[in-house]
Each structure stands twice: as C-alpha cells, then as structure tokens.
Structure 1
C-alpha cells in the first residue's frame, strides 16, 4: 500500500512538472538546461525479494568449513525442522515474517554536462533505507535462531548519462560503485548457549538504474528514479559458545559452532521521487 501511495505521489508530481514546464521554456539557453552542479535529495521505498531457499550454514568445531550438520546426542540432525527466509514468529518452523520493505531517504550532489541532446555527469549520494533482511533456523529443542541485516547507512558514486526528449525533460541511465555499513542482529529462544555476533559490517557493492528528470524553471527539477542495489555481505556471522548448556547439548557436542548465512548477497530495488536545485 505504501509503495502504491509513493508511486502515485511521484507520478502526480511529475505530471504536474511536465504540465508546468512550457511556462518556463525560455529560462535557459536552448540545449543547455542540464549543465552545472546540482544538490538535492530523494525519498522512496525499498522492496526486497524474499530469498526462497535461504538457510543458515554451520561450522562445527569452528575450523572454517561451513556446511556441517549439527547433531543431537543420538546422532540425529539437530536442525531437522529446517529454515525459513524471514524472521521467526515462534520456536517451531510454522511461520516467518517476510523481509521488511520500508522507506528510504537520501541526499545527493552532482554535476552534469549537456552536449546537444546528450547529457553526461556524475552523482554522489548518502543516506539509508529502513528495510531489513532476515533468515531463521529451527532446532529440535525446539528453538529458533534468526539472523537479520539492515543498512546503518550507505553511500554511492554513480555515473549518469541520458538524452533530452524535450527542452526540459531528461531520460537517463545511472550506475556505479556503492559502500554500506550493515547492522547485524541475532535473536534466539535458546537460553542455554551463548551467542556473539562476529565479523565485519563493511560491505562494498554496486548500483544501476535509470529515471526521468523534469526541470521547473531555471534552477529546480523533480523526477522519478528506479535503482537496483547489491552489496556483498560475506564477513559476518554468529559464534556459539557453551554458556550454561550441558554435555549433551548439540553445540557442546560439536565443539562449538559458527553460523553464517547461505546467501551473502544483500540486494534490493528502490523507487524514488527526486528533487534538485541546479546552480
């Protein structure tokens, strides 16, 4: 519902801008509407795909080899109930919440150069999304174990290239490198063992997308933009310790264990409404 509302608002704002544009058509020299620096921002909505089939991998004995089976005292699979691609809602594998889609907000600074109908430039961006991505495992105890990641903040530097389809209307593609600080959380109903989040919260990635920008007068523009973002979150995990668990506890029998997500790719789609002041 929120994404439909945002899309409707962005489309409405853009339609208003296009309707108003002819009144300002003589505010800048022909063929040079988009040359110069610009500063602005965006507000939008982040949508993730739920990674069907994602699981948690185990490293029994902490020897760096993930993909081990944690076994019970009688030799059974301690995680026979399986996994779900979301946050657990109980200690049994009966339901999980889907990954959280949410709003995002960014500030940006850029420069463009117009050459005839062609526009090339670059944009730097800083902000965050409120979306989060979870995966859960379930043990025979029963107990749940949920690993969650979310953006503390992210920044990007992208190139931009486009073509003017009217005196003040620009269609463009954009792409470049990105960097994120990723917050990691862990939740479990297991109160016997100890758990510690480990690893690095730094993640590099890339972005690609496109959009439409409509100028209003000489200095102001609005638009809509789609962006795909992908980060490699492969340096984080959870270390399991003995805690108060007894000798027959599966993690104690394993000599300790490490958790890691089977999917280290943190990716999502964004739809944004943009605004900029052009100098």
Structure 2
C-alpha cells in the first residue's frame, strides 16, 4: 500500500501537470478562465467529470488471510447423520484422547510435527459498471478469483495414527454491488457487498493403513457472501490504481470421510457402533480476509 502511494500520486500529478502545460501553451493569454476547462477536454486532458462512470475491467492480486478456525474433528459412529459421538475402543475409552490440532500433522503423533495453515496469494479479474450522480457512485460487478490459502486440521488416535484434512478455495465467482463517494472525481472511496459461489477442495491423508477411507462431496460448489471496501485513484482518464479489503465467508458443511473396515478386525473402534464411522472437521466455516491491489481500465 505504501509502495502504491509512493508511485501512484506522483504519476497522477505528473499526468495532470503535463496536460495542463500543453493546454496552456495552446491557449491565448487573454482566454477567459471559464474556457480553460473546455480547452483541456478538447486536447484529451485530465477530466474529473468523466471519472467513475461507465464500464470498466479490473485485475487484482494480494494475499488471503485466514480466520481462526478450530482443528477439532467430529464423528458419526452409526452413520445416522448426527455428528455427536465419541469413537470408543472395546474397553469404552476414547480412541481420540490424544486430541486434535489446528494444523497439518506430519507424523503419527502430535509430537512428530505439525504444519500451520497457509496464507497464500489471491488473484483474479472483474467486470463492472458504475453510474455517477454528482459525487455519489453506485454500480455492480461480476468477479472471478482464486486463492492459494489453506486451512489444516488434524486428529490423533491412540493407535497411534493421524488423520488430516486440508481445505482450500479452488475458485469463486462473485456478484457484488458497490456504493461510493468521489470528491469531484480523481479518487473514489467505496463499500461493496454481495454473494459468492465457490469450489472448496479437501485433501485427506492418514497414517492408518488398516481401515478404508472414502471421501464424500469433495470439491462441491458452496454459497457464501462477501463484504468490504476500498479506494480507487485515477492516473489518467482511463487508468486507475486502488487497494481493497474483502471478507469472504462460506459454509463448508457437505464434505465427510467415510471410514470402513478395510483389513481391520471387527473390534476396530471405527466399526463397533454400526460397522463404520463418518468424520469431518467440526468448524465448517471457510472464511478469508483479502487485502488486494487493483489496477483498472475504464471505457
């Protein structure tokens, strides 16, 4: 953000200065002040009245910061759709007493290592249309985006064994409204909000080689919502730079892992209450806090 300010404002000032100088050279010295604006427009100068009105294309890039999701797993040991049971051994003890972690296990036990969540790059493009009424700007946009951020969650059993689920946003298609204020053109300050439709990917891994594991509803499209705000500065009548914050939230409640017998004996804790167990991450919210740099072309 500091880097943009360092270059954007000097560049905008330079463009305005060059345009004004060129206009002044072409005008007679006795030209009335009221005609200077018309002369500037006729020579393609910096016209603030044209800003933030009409069709635009924008590209953006930044980072997707993740929320504080818990790493706890939940289990449905009789597969009735209710995830509220413990996975108990034949002696009645909790097979997952070693607990859970909000990270990705790298070994069979918690002490063997755990990789924290990944807050990665986010990027995409959008098309939108603005209407300006005085200093008020309102409009809408359609956006496509991708994110490389990853949530990681792990469970540890007494075997010992780990069970790990990584969650990431493959891509999202979003539609948002936008409402802003411009002090006579040149710069825009706005809020934005709307709906989003995203593909959430899940990666499951485990050190348990006895049971069978089947992933269900991986990569399903999920509905969510977005809200945020930002600012946009015109460098020329058609080129703009900006910064934006956007919060995105999705309900990731369709994915589960079905645990079957495999080569395990009938006394296996996953099998005791009904022949198999379904498990999933308890915290089913997938949310990101995005900070973006935006470059746009207006028509």
Question: TM-score higher than 0.5 here?
Answer: yes
Q: Distance in 2 between matches of 1:277 and 1:181?
A: 28
More strand by share: 1
CA deviation map 1:190-219 (0-9, x unaligned)? 111111110261110011111110111111
Q: Distance in 1 between matches of 2:178 and 2:133?
A: 14
Change (3 A) 1:91 1:29: same
Matched, 1:235 2:247: no
What corresponds to 1:191 in structure 2?
209
Q: Distance in 1 between matches of 2:137 and 2:147?
A: 29
Change (3 A) 1:102 1:30: closer
Listed as ranges, the gaps of 5+ residues in structure 1 are 1-6
Larger radius of gyration: 2
Kept in 1: contact 2:143–2:175 (CA 8 A): yes
More helix by share: 2
What corresponds to 2:117 in structure 1?
99
CA RMSD of aligned residues (A): 1.8
What corresponds to 2:298 in structure 1?
278
C-alpha displacement of 1:56: 0.6
Kept in 2: contact 1:17–1:215 (CA 8 A): no
Change (3 A) 1:74 1:40: same
Q: Distance in 1 between matches of 2:238 and 2:231?
A: 16
Matched, 1:210 2:224: no
Kept in 1: contact 2:87–2:96 (CA 8 A): yes
SS at match of 2:271: helix
Kept in 1: contact 2:174–2:196 (CA 8 A): yes
Matched, 1:80 2:100: no
Listed as ranges, the gaps of 5+ residues in structure 2 are 21-39
SS at match of 1:183: strand
Matched, 1:173 2:196: no
Q: Distance in 2 between matches of 1:227 and 1:41?
A: 15
What corresponds to 1:58 in structure 2?
75
Kept in 2: contact 1:57–1:259 (CA 8 A): yes
Write the mapping of 1:1-279 to structure 2, written as runs, cut at 5 A.
7-20=1-14, 22-23=16-17, 27=45, 29-51=47-69, 53-94=70-111, 95-165=113-183, 167-199=185-217, 201-254=220-273, 255-279=275-299
Deviates most, 28-37 or 174-183: 28-37
Q: Distance in 1 between matches of 2:72 and 2:63?
A: 26
C-alpha displacement of 1:54: 3.5
Change (3 A) 1:19 1:249: farther
What corresponds to 1:4 in structure 2?
none
CA deviation map 1:170-200 (0-9, x unaligned)? 1111110001011111011111111111026
CA deviation map 1:71-108 (0-9, x unaligned)? 11221100000001121122112343221100011111
Kept in 1: contact 2:47–2:237 (CA 8 A): no
Kept in 1: contact 2:48–2:186 (CA 8 A): no
